[in-house]
Amino acid sequence: MDEPWSAQERQRVARLCSVLTGDPAAADDLAQETLLQAWRIRDRLTDPTGQGPWLDAIARHVCRRWRVREARLAGHELLLDPASDEVPPTYAATDDLSEVLEQEELVELVERALALLPADTRAVVVARHVDDLGPTEIGARLGLSPEAVSMRLTRGRARLRHVLETELADEPLAQVWVGRHGVAWRPTRMSCVRCGHATTSMRRDHRAGALQLRCDDCDPDGVASSWRLDNPTLSPHLEAVRRPTAVVARMTVWAHGFWLPAMESGRATCTRCASVCVVAPYERSDTEDPLVRRGWSASCPSCGEELTTSFLGLALTFPETRALLRRRPRTRAVPTRTVEGDGRTAVVVALRDDTSGDRVEVLYDDVSSRLRGLVASL
């Protein structure tokens, strides 16, 4: 293989690497790495007259990765040296969006993410993180003030994070990012059973170890449903499908088969360690909403795993309720009421479609919280 780089060009790249890193001893090796990488992607150089700037951009990228590696090594050395008074770099200082942009194995993913940004925003992000230019240099290139560059850069980073945490979150390579920083809430087409509006969002957050649902109208800061992704019983159901409606359908069917016999016997098999769980009713003190204030829990004394379901959550698992929601997606829960029968009081949790009047009512004993019956009008 005949190298296209002259000795003069090699020396020029080495001098640039020395300036970029401040380490003349490492400059020759970094220059060699730069030229080797350039040779591998030489087909991307479409205009030979632009070879110098093209090599400079590759050198900046190589030196940036070298600085990250050196910072990590320095941090580890400080952590291993108990006599050191220096403070090692924090996790946030070395593990941010810049580092992801600089990882060679993520080039394809980053290119896809950048392609989803508006052109003007993408130009600023590329100039900063790929070409390693400062705000003044970027402004001169794009005809912007340094302040405008900083504003667009901040906006671009936020948009890029959003893309990595939403549209590309399920990509295997994206797990480098979302595994550390979590994922954003993504809107679904499902209606909220509390308000009847199509404002349900879902996130599959491996960092938090859970798949979660919420209503952006009812409780934008809360979580309506949560299932542990590391639970060996639940995980196969959660990983088998991706569509939000399919996830909910699978979990409600599973929950129906789990909770009804557990409530009847007061015991269940732990979904994590297979020990015997204690199943008992609960009443929350942090809410006055009767739909979710009361319910059932299954607590494992061996491993500490705990599953819960509210009166409303359990009502959603019945085949009649699932059929109503399939036919009438805007079905919603109505305020609970109490009824008397056989000398006992029952709490009625009802779901109704306002247009057709179709409804399902689930009755729970007010004292024991046990299931008393179900009435469907479909």
pLDDT digits (tens, 9 = 90+) for 26-36: 888 888 888 88
The domain locations on the chain are 7-180, 186-315, 329-377
Q: What is the pLDDT of residues 110-148, one digit of tens each?
A: 777 788 888 888 888 888 877 778 888 899 999 998 888
pLDDT at 61: 78
The three-class DSSP label of residue 365 is strand
Contact between 188 and 207 under an 8 Å Cβ cutoff? The reply is no
- C-alpha to C-alpha distance for 172 and 86, rounded to whole angstroms: 37
Q: What is the pLDDT of residues 317-347, one digit of tens each?
A: 999 999 999 999 999 999 999 999 888 999 9
- SS3 string, 236-287, reads HHHHHCCCHHHHHHHHHHHHHHHHHHHHHHCEEECCCCCCEEEEEEEECCCC
Segments of the chain assigned E as strands: 186-187, 200-205, 210-215, 225-228, 267-269, 276-283, 294-299, 306-310, 332-341, 344-352, 359-365, 371-377
DSSP 48: G
The three-class DSSP label of residue 360 is strand
pLDDT at 85: 38
pLDDT along the chain (378 residues), means of 10: 71 83 81 84 76 82 73 45 37 45 59 82 82 85 88 82 72 62 77 91 80 90 91 90 90 97 96 95 90 95 95 97 94 95 93 95 96 93
Contact between 146 and 136 under an 8 Å Cβ cutoff? The reply is yes
- C-alpha to C-alpha distance for 282 and 73, rounded to whole angstroms: 51
Phi then psi dihedrals of residue 133, to 5 deg = -95, 150
Q: Which of 194, 281, 205 is nearest to 238 (CA)?
A: 205
